[in-house]
Amino acid sequence: MKPIKDIFSSHIQGLYKGHEVDAPGSVQEGVFNQLDAINGSNTSGSASGGFTSKAVLGAAVVIVGFAWYLMPVSEDQVVVDEVEVVEELVVEDVKVVEEVAVTDAVYEVEAAPELVVQEVVEENVEISVEEQIIAEEEIENTVVTSDIEDVHPEVVVDPIDEDEILEEAVPTKDVIKTKEVQEVLEWVLPAKLEVDE
Amino acid sequence: MSVEPDILELIEKCKAGDRRAQFDLYGRFSGLMFAVSLRYTNTKIDAEDVVQNAWVKIFSKLDTFSENNSFEGWMRRIVVNTAITLYRKNKKHANQADISEVLATPADIDASKQCDFTREELENAISRMPEGYGVVFKLYVIDGYKHKEIAEMLDIEVNTSKSQLSRAKKFLQGVLLHMEQVATPRVDDHSNID
């Protein structure tokens, strides 16, 4: 059965192979009219888009022209434009220079305090030393003055008994005692000397 | 299957919008495409509408055609799809009404073994076939579509496509047998007349 069916189908296919029927002329007209309509719609679409863009461009031109008309003088306007451009350029340069200057200043500021601190320290040292010396001198003077007033009698006493003076600071009472002792000795010595002779 | 060089040149010109090339391409394949359109429509007017719309699609979608395929097959598929779209739009439960008629038709496969019928006789038989079966039969037998493709095109099940094809063949063979019997009168009839 199957081969018969295949023969049946192949026979039918053979009948229709290359089968053509002339199409009426109206079909051809309809096809290309429809294509023209499609192309026309596309063209009109692009044309409408072009019209829109032209309308926008025209409106922009009108606005710019009106603004131009409102400007006082055309030459001033040109000069203003140039000035604006120059100003912009100058501002940019200044910005760059300022940036560089700031960085340098920062470095200097960072280095300067260190140096100043060192110098200040040195000055402080010198000053302190001098002040100390001055103070010592003052102290010596005061001491000397006081000693001179008080010690003059002691200086007179020194040849009398030097060992005792060196061993301990001699108070005035002791000096007085030594004077008394010396007076005693002076009083005693002639007797002894007289005895030795 | 590659496309012939002259056809390929025509296609390229048509893509560029060359109207003369479009006329040449149309003249070269218009008869073939109109025959295909006639197979899938009930009236000549419908066939003209289908082929006109199909040609517009062909010219509009030339950019999608791959040169590795058959250009004639590509155009044929567009015409068939356009016709099927019209068929689905006009379909009005024709299949269900015609089932009883098909089942009642005597299936005499042996009478069709000779396959000596002409295309006109076959078209006459197909024209008597219920529309639903006829579409499946023409798609499968004449234009070589697969059942899966037919099912997708007609929005039916694959098994439905197969059963409709089987019934269409039985119907067609019965009609062809009847036509053959009518065309060749039996000897007994002549003796009776005499």
**The complex's ipTM?**
0.72
Can you tell me the mean pLDDT for A83-103? 53
Question: Nearest CA to B112 among B170, B165, B187?
Answer: B170
**A5 with B141: Cβ contact below 8 A:** no
A104-126 residue pLDDT tens: 555 555 555 555 555 554 555 55
Q: Could you tell me if A34 lies within 8 Å of chain B, comparing CB atoms?
A: yes
Q: Could you tell me if A6 lies within 8 Å of chain B, comparing CB atoms?
A: no
- pLDDT(B88) > 50: yes
Per-residue confidence (pLDDT) for residue A152, from 0 to 100: 52
The whole-angstrom separation of Cα A112 and Cα A105 is: 10
Mean pLDDT of chain B: 82
Provide the H-helix boundaries in B40-70.
Answer: 44-60
Residue of A nearest to B114 (CA): A8
Higher pLDDT, A86 or B75: B75
Under DSSP, the state recorded for A18 is T
> In percent, how much of chain A has pLDDT > 70?
27
Per-residue confidence (pLDDT) for residue A134, from 0 to 100: 52
Per-residue confidence (pLDDT) for residue A158, from 0 to 100: 52
User: How many Cβ pairs within 8 Å bridge chains A and B?
Assistant: 76
**A21 with B19: Cβ contact below 8 A:** no
**A1 with B109: Cβ contact below 8 A:** yes
Question: Nearest CA to A173 among A162, A190, A157, A189?
Answer: A157
Which residues on A lie below 8 Å from B129 (Cβ)? none
Per-residue confidence (pLDDT) for residue B103, from 0 to 100: 43
B6-48 residue pLDDT tens: 899 999 999 998 999 999 999 999 999 999 999 888 889 999 9
Higher pLDDT, A48 or B5: B5
**A27 with B112: Cβ contact below 8 A:** no
Provide the H-helix boundaries in chain A.
Answer: 2-16, 25-70, 74-157, 162-167, 172-196
Residue of B nearest to A22 (CA): B31
Higher pLDDT, A56 or A194: A56
CA–CA min distance B193, chain A (Å): 36
Per-residue confidence (pLDDT) for residue A98, from 0 to 100: 55
Q: Could you tell me if B169 lies within 8 Å of chain A, comparing CB atoms?
A: yes
**B115 with A8: Cβ contact below 8 A:** yes
A151-197 residue pLDDT tens: 455 545 555 555 555 555 555 555 556 566 565 555 555 555 555 54
The amino acid that residue B182 corresponds to is V
> A60: pLDDT confidence band, cut at 50, 70 and 90?
confident
**Residue A120 CB neighbour total at 10 angstroms:** 10
**B122 with A9: Cβ contact below 8 A:** no
**B48 with A24: Cβ contact below 8 A:** yes
Per-residue confidence (pLDDT) for residue A178, from 0 to 100: 58
B145-189 residue pLDDT tens: 999 999 999 999 999 999 999 999 888 888 888 877 777 665 555
Question: Nearest CA to B135 among B154, B148, B120?
Answer: B154
Per-residue confidence (pLDDT) for residue A108, from 0 to 100: 53
Question: Nearest CA to B178 among B105, B119, B101, B99?
Answer: B105
> In percent, how much of chain A has pLDDT > 90?
2
